[in-house]
Structure 1
Amino acid sequence: MNITEKLPDQIKTLVDQYKNSELTDFDYLIGESGYIPNNEEILTDIIVALSQGKNVLLKGPTGSGKTKLAETLSNLFNQPLFSVNCSVDLDVESFVGFKTIDFKEGKQMIEFVPGPLVQAMKNGHFLYIDEINMAKPETLPIINGVLDYRRQITNPLTNEVIKAKEAFNVIAAINEGYIGTTRLNEALKNRFIIIDISYLQGEQLKKLIKQNTELDDDKLINQFVQLSSDLIEATQQGKVSEDAASIRALLDACDLSGMIPPKRAILRAIIDKLEDDREKEVVRNLAETLFE
């Protein structure tokens, strides 16, 4: 039986629309399509979860396409995507907004400027929280009520109780074990459906390179696909960090190699981004074995 046969018609339409590449560019806030999943089940499961109003946590290494997937989901659902990029400096105002002084009819007034969380909730749009485990633990509890059955928040700056519109959804991304990250507490993690996102390999990666770079030399494309596989294996063996195996960096190298020698493209796009000299040497050796 086809995997989508048991799904409701609305969800089947979205899955089929993606598979048939019938995606359209909408308003500038809506993400661009283009994510290629490792298998159909990943896409189907995420669409089902979002269609049921559940929050989704994308878990995967850096450069594996988590942000691109969020943008593709925004495109599929025709839903604007408001984003929060987490860091150790992230505070409550980064989520809910801030107060500012304004002048109206010659009078000084205090205005509240809504942040991405408030805008997404009030408009019933998607909120994307990138690298959620980089935020300070004391900042994240403010969104607990947003992520559970209450779907609401009391704005600490205005005391307004904000209830999310029905179409509001949260998509978050996490890169476990990365420098500067912390473990998500169980209360927060339990509010998400968790989807593992791995690096693309083989034919899917080849398709991604052809669709997203200027490289059209099949021999070179196959060599870059093999390089990616070798880098992923080196990552699993602890020889290089996940940065070295980033698909984003690989695509940059493919683009550059259309104009400059591949080994120099790899140097600029991958090797020079690494901090450890031993890691640089591993990547350099792998490139030497594949490219002339």
Structure 2
Amino acid sequence: MNYNLPENIVEILNKNQRTQDSTHNNLIREDGYVPPTNELFIDAITALSMGKNILLKGPTGAGKTKLAETLSHLFHQPMFSINCSVDLDAESLMGFKTLAYEDEKQVIKFVPGPVTSAMKDGSFLYIDEINMAKPETLPLINGTLDYRRTVTNPFTNEVITAKKGFNVIAAINEGYIGTVPLNEALKNRFIVIDVPYLQGDQLKELIKSNTRLTDKTMIDLFTTLSADLIHAVDQGKLAEDAASIRALLDACDLSVVIPPKRAILRSIIDKLEEDREKEFVENLAETLF
């Protein structure tokens, strides 16, 4: 392995992958991400420990960013982030030149971007919504994603070779407006980890550890609501945003102070665009609460 992993990770990797042991549960409580299966966590940790890049694929609000943050914490690695958009350009990735003063003289300085900083520090680089970037932008960093681990800075002509510990975690939401399919050359540089919505006991654990809600009956009701929303998304009745775990946790928090139906209205329903979707979720909330 390329990293000196903390003992708790080594222990998890050495255990049977189907075992839900106490070490695993402690890891969940300590770091905030609740994996739906042991295998998801183990596979992501294994890939990173071997120096491979991982691509987290899943619906919005499923916890991809939280998983990336948790992995960064477990590896004791700082993480530089890139939020992709159609405006992403070389300067956003590599950095930019600016005027500065040294000893009362004006000089040109280069301010490093997240790719440059992560490579030189030997840190993690997180690329969020990687399929939002223009296809012509990302090939600039192809060399950072394969065995070369090098890139030529177009602004300084410096050839940067990543320090040991550098690795890339990217996240993707497929099928959203403004996204484009990843080309095969880019996709082949990643190990793909599918991050589904949390459900059942894992979701209950997340609600307990990440919200102010403590009432068991209410936690059960919100877990049921989430399952119903996910089922409706699968059937094409709702947009994926309606089943966002992030939005559900907000509703759980608000329900400690305001009525749950109003909490659901503010956190979930009012974010939806279509009246039929709003009415559908309102009916679910009315039935459960």
Which residue identity lines up with residue 124 of structure 1 in the other structure? Answer: G
Alpha-carbon distance between aligned partners in 2 of 1:182 and 1:284, rounded to the nearest angstrom: 33
**Following TM superposition, by how much is the alpha carbon of 1:218 offset from its aligned partner in structure 2, in angstroms?**
0.7
Q: Secondary structure at the match of 1:157?
A: coil
What do the CA deviations read for 1:190-220 (whole angstroms, capped 9, x no partner)? Answer: 0000000000000000000000000011111
**Following TM superposition, by how much is the alpha carbon of 1:11 offset from its aligned partner in structure 2, in angstroms?**
7.7
Structure 1 segment 63-74 matched on structure 2, within 5 A: 63-74=61-72
Alpha-carbon distance between aligned partners in 2 of 1:42 and 1:16, rounded to the nearest angstrom: 16
Gap change, CA 1:43 and 1:285, over 3 Å in 2? same
Q: Normalising to structure 1: TM-score of the pair?
A: 0.91
| Native 8 Å contact 2:54 2:169 kept in 1 | yes
Structure 1 counterpart of 2:9: 14
Structure 2 counterpart of 1:133: 131
Alpha-carbon distance between aligned partners in 2 of 1:23 and 1:120, rounded to the nearest angstrom: 26
**Following TM superposition, by how much is the alpha carbon of 1:20 offset from its aligned partner in structure 2, in angstroms?**
5.3
**Following TM superposition, by how much is the alpha carbon of 1:16 offset from its aligned partner in structure 2, in angstroms?**
3.8
Structure 2 counterpart of 1:212: 210
Q: Does 1:58 align with 2:53?
A: no
Q: Which moved more, 1:272-281 or 1:245-254?
A: 272-281
Unmatched runs of 5 consecutive residues or more in structure 1: 1-7, 25-31
Alpha-carbon distance between aligned partners in 1 of 2:5 and 2:69, rounded to the nearest angstrom: 20
Structure 1 counterpart of 2:15: none
| Native 8 Å contact 1:82 1:125 kept in 2 | yes
**Following TM superposition, by how much is the alpha carbon of 1:13 offset from its aligned partner in structure 2, in angstroms?**
3.7
Structure 1 counterpart of 2:16: none
Structure 1 segment 69-218 matched on structure 2, within 5 A: 69-218=67-216
Unmatched runs of 5 consecutive residues or more in structure 2: 13-22
Alpha-carbon distance between aligned partners in 2 of 1:19 and 1:138, rounded to the nearest angstrom: 41
Question: C-alpha root-mean-square deviation of aligned residues, in Å?
Answer: 1.8
Alpha-carbon distance between aligned partners in 2 of 1:133 and 1:145, rounded to the nearest angstrom: 18
Gap change, CA 1:50 and 1:268, over 3 Å in 2? same
**Following TM superposition, by how much is the alpha carbon of 1:143 offset from its aligned partner in structure 2, in angstroms?**
1.1
Which residue identity lines up with residue 21 of structure 1 in the other structure? Answer: N
Which residue identity lines up with residue 143 of structure 1 in the other structure? Answer: I
**Following TM superposition, by how much is the alpha carbon of 1:15 offset from its aligned partner in structure 2, in angstroms?**
5.2
May I ask how many residue pairs the two structures share in their alignment? 277
Gap change, CA 1:133 and 1:9, over 3 Å in 2? closer
Q: Does 1:228 align with 2:223?
A: no
What do the CA deviations read for 1:217-239 (whole angstroms, capped 9, x no partner)? Answer: 11111000000000000000111
Gap change, CA 1:234 and 1:15, over 3 Å in 2? farther
Q: Secondary structure at the match of 1:144?
A: helix
Q: Secondary structure at the match of 2:217?
A: helix
Identity of aligned residues (%): 69
Which residue identity lines up with residue 63 of structure 1 in the other structure? Answer: G
Alpha-carbon distance between aligned partners in 1 of 2:28 and 2:237, rounded to the nearest angstrom: 39
Alpha-carbon distance between aligned partners in 2 of 1:101 and 1:122, rounded to the nearest angstrom: 22
| Native 8 Å contact 1:64 1:200 kept in 2 | yes
What do the CA deviations read for 1:109-141 (whole angstroms, capped 9, x no partner)? Answer: 110000111110001000000000001111110
Which residue identity lines up with residue 282 of structure 2 in the other structure? Answer: R
Gap change, CA 1:22 and 1:264, over 3 Å in 2? closer
Q: Normalising to structure 2: TM-score of the pair?
A: 0.92
Alpha-carbon distance between aligned partners in 1 of 2:155 and 2:192, rounded to the nearest angstrom: 31
Structure 1 segment 27-46 matched on structure 2, within 5 A: 33-46=31-44
Question: Moved runs in structure 1, 4+ residues, more than 3 A?
Answer: 8-13, 15-18
| Native 8 Å contact 2:151 2:161 kept in 1 | yes
Which residue identity lines up with residue 24 of structure 2 in the other structure? Answer: K
| Native 8 Å contact 1:263 1:287 kept in 2 | yes
**Following TM superposition, by how much is the alpha carbon of 1:9 offset from its aligned partner in structure 2, in angstroms?**
9.5
Gap change, CA 1:204 and 1:23, over 3 Å in 2? closer
| Native 8 Å contact 2:99 2:107 kept in 1 | yes
Alpha-carbon distance between aligned partners in 2 of 1:73 and 1:48, rounded to the nearest angstrom: 11
